[in-house]
Each structure stands twice: as C-alpha cells, then as structure tokens.
Amino acid sequence: MGKTAIAINDSDSASTRCPNFLTTIDSDTSVINSNQRITSVGSNNNGKANLILVKRITNILPNSQNINFNTVIDDGVPNNNDNNPNWKNNYLQGQINVSNVKPGDEVEYTIYFLSNGLGKEAKNVEICDVVPDNMTFDNHSYDRNFGMALDLSGATLPTTPYKKLSNAMGDDEGDFYPPGTNPPVTLCKKHDPNDPNTLIPVDSSNNLSGAVLIKLNAPLPPATGSGTPLDSYGFIRFRAKVK
C-alpha cells in the first residue's frame, strides 16, 4: 500500500522529525476504503508550525455509479483533521469509501492541506504520495505529461482553477518518481505487504507504481479563521488507474 507524507523543514529552528498519521485511501479491484491507507505529517521545527491533511476521492472515471463527489463527509472520528474549524466551509469535498471499483477505472485522489501552526508559517513543505501497488499512475491526467495538480486559490469547489504540474524532475513544484526509481527515502513510505501495520521506506526495489512529490515554493501562513488567509490551505491531486 502507499502513503502520503508531508515534511515541514524549518531551518530557523531545531527539533527532530515528529510524524503523525492520518488514515487515507487504499484501493483494489473491488473497493476503495479510506481506512486502509495512511497519510503522515512530519515536522522538523520548534513545534509551532504545523500542517494537517485530509484525503478524499474526488472522481472516478467513468463514474458508472453516478457518485456525488461534490459533498463533504466527516470521517466519524472526533477531533480528527477534517474537524479543524479553520478549514473553509464546504472545502473538503469528496468520498471516503467507494465500492465496486473495477479494473480500468481511474481514481482521482485529492489531498487537502491546512497550515494551522501557532502563529508560525510552514516553510519548505514537501508532500509525497506513493501510488498503490495495484494501480497505475496517469501521466497525462491534466495535460500531456502533466499528471499532478496544485491549487492555492481558495476555491470553494476543488475542481478548477489549479496549476498543472509536470511529471519531469525539477521544472516546477511537482516531480514523479516512476516505478523502480528511488524517491526521497526519508519522506516516502508505504505499508509493508507482509505487515500492514508497519511503514517501510520506499526505494527502487519496492517502488512498484511510482511516487508523487510536491514541493511548495512559498511558505504557508497559519490559518487564523475559517478559510483565512486564502494561502493557508490548498490541495494537490493526481489520478491512478486500477490494474
């Protein structure tokens, strides 16, 4: 299984990385269940900067079940990341669980992020998501060779506008590490197939479906209220096809 991770690297302060984990998305040929995949938030700062994540399924192509993805669903866990009062109203749209997904279906994942530190901006944010082993990354989701998207506009409906990110290394905020390559080993992790409760670093030997890496150029100021300021939150997204 794959995992999404966020690292906040603040060179102005010192501490050890402190990962926290939020359940997100897993998929197979019959079901997509948000309780089987892990998102992590890691920080390397003095404890004041913080970033939280919420991950949702925001589309399935073709949508033969006519699922409504423009809805906000609470994960049912009290005081979890999707309950933070500083999210913009109706922003966290998408489904948590989708059943009856079949080979050939393309799933769009959206990872929402919110800076909610205590008066301190989140700097040098990096987001890594490992594509599930039973899925194939869509290299052309948003244009030819643009398989990722980033939005910091504060749009209520997380559809458009967004910035298309290319799959190439180093030309914009997005990098795609193809299967068999080495993504950042300290950031990108996945579930051990022999022990689903254990997270293991991803390297060329177990990077079976690829990994997405997003590096935000600008610091994210901490949210001071619901949807305020606009650049304190946003989302990234990509698509993958069920094998």
Strand segments (E) across the chain:
3-9, 20-27, 31-44, 51-61, 97-99, 106-115, 125-130, 135-137, 148-151, 163-165, 174-177, 189-192, 195-201, 211-215, 233-242
The neighbouring-strand residues paired with 8 are: 43, 125
Neighbour-count burial for 131-152, b at 16+ CB within 10 Å, e otherwise: bbbbbbbbbebbeeebbbbbbb
Q: Check residue 197 and give its pLDDT.
A: 86
Please check the confidence at residue 109 and state whether its pLDDT lies above 50: yes
Mean residue pLDDT across the chain: 81
pLDDT digits (tens, 9 = 90+) for 131-189: 999 999 999 999 999 999 999 887 766 666 689 999 999 999 999 999 999 998 788 99
Q: Which of 126, 86, 99 lies closest to 34, judged by CA?
A: 99
Highest mean pLDDT among 28-32, 76-80, 142-146: 142-146
Pairing of strands 3-9, 125-130: antiparallel
Q: What average pLDDT score do residues 211-227 get?
A: 94
Neighbour-count burial for 79-110, b at 16+ CB within 10 Å, e otherwise: eebbebebbbeebbbbbbebeebeeebbbbbb
d(C-alpha 8, C-alpha 16), whole Å = 11
Q: What average pLDDT score do residues 66-75 get?
A: 89
Angle at 160 between CA 242 and CA 224, to 5 degrees: 110
Task: Give the pLDDT band of residue 12 (cuts 50, 70, 90).
Answer: very low
CB-based contact 32:100 (threshold 8 Å): no
